[in-house]
Amino acid sequence: MMGIANASSPEVFVLLGFSARPSLEPILFIIALGFYVVSILDNGIIILVSCMDVHLHTPMYFFLANLSFLDISFTTSIVPQLLVNLWGPQKTISSVGCMVQFYISHWLGATECVLLAVMSYDRYAAICRPLHYTVIMHPQLCLSLAFASWLGGLTTSIVGSTLTMLLPLCGNNRIDHFFCEMPLIMQLACVDTSLNEVEMYVASFIFVVLPLGLILVSYGHIAWAVMKIRSAEGRRKAFNTCSSHVAVVTLFYGSIIFMYLQPAKSNSHEKGKFIALFYTVVTPMLNPLIYTLRNKDVKKALRHIASENCCGFAGSLGHIRDVSNL
């Protein structure tokens, strides 16, 4: 009896990852490390600029700062362990580490779905209701929407991940991926997982399908409103207002669709690993670049902060020289 109990709870999990292609692992290590560092810096800059520049204290940049913090947290929950596994022959992760990883990744993934829908509603209010925008998107509503996004993601993660954690695995501990993901843990179970699958489908509908539907409805209204704008300049401004968010939504949902709507074949699973790698490593780095490269306000704020810091540093040097000359 004791042996069965011990067998049902592996102390470590083996993350097979890209071990089938050992020659590729050093290259992936360098790529993942580079993208991870850039992602942390880029998203950190977005958060810093959004907080420091008073001109960016608007709903759009408040939600963008939330998205950047989410991206930092999500990529940090996966990439460090990925780098460890790519660096050497050791491909294991502790059961506690695996549990923490799929709790956090599930939480942040669900939160991002809701947060992107909230950001699309913000763009809808800005373009379709410009005269009432400040009344609609008041600070209390923005805080409530952001809080609801994080709390909703946490709630579904606690429910789904806990149900998965309670499944007996009967010693199965080999995960054919580079991180611990809830559906993959469920595949290791040696009991019926129908309840878990129902919960996962319901959660997917609530936190993936519904937010995507709200995004499409919002941009349907936006497209209709833009078509009514007579001036080319007005249409261009409206397009620039939404283009960055559309690009981020396309990257996010495009990755999800390719990851989870593939036929169950071995070669498709291998492709899924690389798509998941893109989603966890590349996308968090691209999000802030998309917003900064296409957004004049962010670039202006960056220049303003940089010039202030340079002037302050030059003033400090001048003061030091004046004191030394006395």
User: What are φ and ψ of residue 18, in 5° steps?
Assistant: -110, 25
Other CB atoms within 10 Å distance of the CB of residue 246: 16
Going by C-alpha positions, the residue among 44, 46, 67 that lies closest to residue 114 is 67
Which residues fall within 8 angstroms of residue 147, CB to CB, at 6 or more apart? none
Contact 185, 95 (CB under 8 A): no
Q: Give the domain extent around 110.
A: 12-295
- How confident is the model at residue 68, as a pLDDT? 94
Mean pLDDT of 269-294: 82
**Can you tell me the distance from the alpha carbon of 104 to that of 107, in angstroms, rounded to the nearest whole number?**
5
- Which tokens is 58 given? 């608007």
CA distances from 82 to 31, 164, 253, 297 (A): 12, 22, 23, 35
84 or 5: whose pLDDT is higher?
Answer: 84
- How confident is the model at residue 261, as a pLDDT? 60
Inside any domain, residue 1: no
Inside any domain, residue 6: no
Taking every pair of C-alpha atoms in the chain, what is the biggest distance, in angstroms? 84
pLDDT at 71 over 90: yes
**Among the ranges given (78-92, 102-116, 213-227, 258-272), the one the predictor scored with the smallest mean pLDDT:** 258-272
- How confident is the model at residue 108, as a pLDDT? 94
Band the pLDDT of 323: cuts 50, 70, 90. Answer: very low
- How confident is the model at residue 7, as a pLDDT? 46
Inside any domain, residue 281: yes
Output the DSSP codes for 220-258: HHHHHHHHH--SHHHHHHHHHHHHHHHHHHHHHHHHHHH
Going by C-alpha positions, the residue among 6, 189, 185, 191 that lies closest to residue 103 is 185
- How confident is the model at residue 267, as a pLDDT? 52
The count of domains in the chain is: 1
Give the 3-state secondary structure of residue 209: helix
Mean pLDDT of 115-140: 92
**Can you tell me the distance from the alpha carbon of 167 to that of 159, in angstroms, rounded to the nearest whole number?**
13
Inside any domain, residue 318: no
Q: Please tell me which of 4-13, 118-127, 261-270, 295-304 the model is most confident about, judged by mean pLDDT.
A: 118-127
Inside any domain, residue 43: yes
Taking the complete model, does pTM exceed 0.75, yes or no? yes
CA distances from 259 to 45, 172, 215, 278 (A): 30, 23, 20, 10
What sign for the dihedral angle of Cα 204, 206, 208, 212? positive
At position 258, the amino acid (one-letter code) is F
pLDDT at 309 over 70: no
Output the DSSP codes for 67-133: HHHHHHHHHHHHHHHHHHHHHSS--EEEHHHHHHHHHHHHHHHHHHHHHHHHHHHHHHHHHHSGGGH
Inside any domain, residue 313: no
Secondary structure element (H or E) that encloses residue 290, with its range: helix 283-293
Inside any domain, residue 113: yes
- How confident is the model at residue 293, as a pLDDT? 60
Secondary structure element (H or E) that encloses residue 1, with its range: none
Arithmetic mean of pLDDT over the chain:
83
CATH number for position 23: 1.20.1070.10
